[in-house]
């Protein structure tokens, strides 16, 4: 049976999709959820294609990092309609919590967001 590290290496060696890409974001914030101690990541920006689906995709780790990476991914199906449009996406981050917070990863920038209940060093 493969170790966790070997399994992750095998996963990373798989071919990358042609229909998905990291895209830029303009704003990112962590807001408290309805239940105490829960949080929601909210990211917004402008997508380059009208029919592009935007999702927040957490990275895979073997150990809990300081800031858990979450990619802003745009996916196109079929022919892209070359007209920009605003987007806002959200993701509950309770199961993907870094020790200090979340790092949002876009095409040309990233932003580290600490959780409000984590003491700063």
Q: Parse the chain into domains and list their residue ranges.
A: 19-114
Measured distance CA(45)–CA(86) in Å, rounded:
6
Alpha carbons 59 and 6: distance in angstroms, whole number = 16
Weakest mean pLDDT among 5-9, 46-50, 91-95 = 5-9
Residues in the chain: 121
Task: Give the 3-state secondary structure of residue 99.
Answer: coil
Residue 79: the pLDDT is 87
pLDDT of 36 higher than 80:
yes
Per the listing, tokens 């073997």 go with 62
pLDDT at 29: 97
Tokens 């408290």: give the residue.
32
Tokens of 67: 């800031």
% of the chain with per-residue pLDDT over 90:
64
The arithmetic mean of pLDDT across residues 18-40, rounded, is 92
The pLDDT tens digits for 66-115 are 999 999 999 998 888 889 999 999 999 988 999 999 999 999 999 999 98
pLDDT at 121 over 50: no
Query: What's the mean pLDDT when you consider all of the chain?
Result: 90
Task: Report residue 119's pLDDT band, with 50, 70 and 90 as the boundaries.
Answer: low
Q: Does the pLDDT at position 1 exceed 60?
A: no
Instruction: Decide which of 12 and 103 is more confident.
Output: 103
């Amino acid at each position: 049976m493969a170790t966790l590290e070997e399994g992750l290496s095998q996963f990373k060696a798989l071919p990358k999709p042609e229909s998905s890409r990291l895209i830029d974001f303009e704003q990112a914030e962590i807001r408290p959820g309805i239940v105490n101690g829960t949080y929601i990541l909210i990211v917004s920006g402008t997508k380059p294609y009208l029919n592009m689906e935007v999702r927040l995709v957490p990275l895979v780790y073997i150990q809990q990092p300081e800031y858990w990476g979450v990619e802003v991914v745009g996916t196109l199906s079929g022919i892209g309609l070359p007209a920009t449009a605003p987007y806002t996406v959200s993701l509950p981050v309770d199961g993907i919590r870094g020790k200090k917070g979340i790092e949002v990863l876009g095409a040309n920038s990233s932003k580290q967001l600490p959780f409000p209940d984590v003491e700063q060093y």
